[in-house]
């Protein structure tokens, strides 16, 4: 019975350690984004989104076989906030749907997407 509690305690400690590491990683990324955002330009953000959307291996947009001129971004709508950028865009093959790219400022290659 004592062995059972030792095993369960080890599993619980491992899970708590993993959660703590994930939290620390998120906190460090957030702090890096806060430091980087004041120095990021709209042009950098737009270029990062276009590069990511037009990658052939993009799991979201790869099926559309997009070229850079197929991505429509209104540069005046790009917002750079305290910890990430917000980039609304449309693609030529589906012009009625608006997509939103949200890259973190410290790593513009790490982009999350949403659509309307």
Cα-based distances in Å from 102 to 15, 86, 109: 30, 5, 10
Q: What is the pLDDT of residue 60?
A: 87
Q: What is the pLDDT of residue 9?
A: 86
pLDDT digit of tens for each residue in the chain (116 aa)? 788 888 888 898 889 889 988 988 888 888 988 899 999 999 999 999 999 999 988 888 888 889 999 999 999 999 999 999 999 999 998 899 999 999 999 999 999 999 98
Nearest-10 Cα torsion for 42, 72, 96, 65: -120
């Amino acid at each position: 019975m004592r062995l059972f509690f030792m095993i369960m305690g080890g599993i619980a400690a491992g899970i708590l350690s993993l959660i703590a590491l994930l939290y620390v990683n998120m906190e460090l990324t957030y702090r890096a984004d806060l430091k980087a955002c004041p120095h990021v330009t709209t042009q950098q953000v737009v270029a990062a989104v276009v590069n990511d959307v037009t990658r052939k291996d993009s799991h979201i947009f790869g099926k559309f076989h997009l070229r850079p001129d197929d991505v429509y971004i209104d540069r005046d709508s790009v917002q750079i906030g305290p910890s990430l950028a917000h980039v609304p865009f449309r693609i030529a093959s589906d012009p009625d749907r608006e997509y939103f790219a949200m890259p973190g400022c410290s790593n513009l290659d790490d982009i999350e997407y949403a659509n309307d």
